[in-house]
Amino acid sequence: MARILSPRDIGILKKLAPELDDPLCPVSGHDFFSILPPVANHLAADDQDFIDRVKRLSPDELTYLARLILDGSESVRCLPPDALILFVEQVAEIISLETAEEIIAVYQAGAPCEGEGRPG
């Protein structure tokens, strides 16, 4: 679900992708409507890079993202499956197994994402 990112969302996005602060970065001028899909699909080099970026988040920031996912504000449906698995493993470790399972249920219940995956 697309949304206008709040200042807190933008702060988290910049923590996950500090290269967005570089005015010479071609993606820095793009408007993002969620946090995780652009990081996983366009900014991270691979799934390991994606989860390494997610591990930069504080428990409070990860909890905030999990709440956004569970209320439908943040998309996980466009995440590559392996990135999703790594993300929910982090959620299970830091927040709770129950929250991780709820995120998996949201992922499974969602409509397929057009253009899912990383660009070739």
Considering the entire predicted model, what is its pTM?
0.84
> Exposed, middle or buried, 97 (CB in 10 Å: 0-12/13-18/19+)?
exposed
pLDDT > 70: percent of the chain? 81
Reported as a single tens digit per residue, the pLDDT across 37-92 is: 999 998 999 999 999 999 999 999 999 999 999 999 998 988 999 999 999 999 99
